[in-house]
Structure 1
């Protein structure tokens, strides 16, 4: 026997940010993990544009894709993990990874998009530092081999 699931409690308890935005891109759900990750309270975020967390230089491309998804009812990112830059309330750059899913009303119309987001900033910085170190070591090894 399966117990009823309290979806509101689930979304509030989950450790990843869960953000839902409507067809117009206005935020309609902002869970506690999103508050923690981006620094905006639920009251500050609800009703606002997703531009809240999208770096200005990427907004044009984001909205082009968002509007196309709303018009066609299809996203090519349904199962792919997206890794993109974001910004928090302080304006600090972040690296986030997320998946998206379309939400549909009873008539089949798209009512919004849900994104489940994880902060990858530390991992991204560590990976970049490791790649830089590998490049430096390869250059030293190449120089040593050439001198020998």
Structure 2
């Protein structure tokens, strides 16, 4: 099997969400992991914009950042995972971590952005509970 076929199978079958959006923020790729995490099938998601998975109160900030990246080609997100809230099809929210990769044309113009996302809600809740316990213990010892 050649490398392209292997890569396509990995993207298709990974449990993490792999999403690719064009410059306008319209979803062009939505793998099985994205279906599992967000509840939308690829048929429902492809062609729609990212508002599909962004909680409403975070959309304005998201799109401001998106436009800045499209204009400048610069982002502070890349190798370090970004933690953000996400929106499930059923309206529930989740905690996500993701990294991005910008795809450019031969002139360096951004064509779109690929993201690999992971639902970290269970870990985030556990850490929140631990922080609360630590605060409680510290206040008892003060």
TM-score range, shorter chain: over 0.9
- Residue 92 of structure 2 corresponds to 92
Matched, 1:108 2:108: yes
Matched, 1:5 2:4: yes
Task: Report the Cα offset of residue 109 of structure 1.
Answer: 2.5
- Residue 132 of structure 1 corresponds to 132
Task: Report the Cα offset of residue 3 of structure 1.
Answer: 4.5
Task: Report the Cα offset of residue 132 of structure 1.
Answer: 0.6
Decide which structure has the larger Cα Rg and report it: 1
**CA distance in 1: counterparts of 2:24 and 2:79, whole angstroms:** 23
3-state secondary structure, aligned to 2:23 = coil
- Residue 54 of structure 2 corresponds to 54
**CA distance in 1: counterparts of 2:133 and 2:3, whole angstroms:** 51
Deviating 4+ runs (over 6 angstroms): none
3-state secondary structure, aligned to 1:5 = helix
3-state secondary structure, aligned to 2:86 = strand
**CA distance in 2: counterparts of 1:65 and 1:18, whole angstroms:** 20
TM-score (norm 1): 0.90
- Residue 42 of structure 2 corresponds to 42
Number of residue equivalences: 141
Task: Report the Cα offset of residue 69 of structure 1.
Answer: 0.6
- Gaps of at least 5 residues in structure 1 are 143-148
Larger displacement relative to structure 2 (58-67 or 101-110): 101-110
3-state secondary structure, aligned to 2:24 = coil
TM-score (norm 2): 0.93
- Gaps of at least 5 residues in structure 2 are none
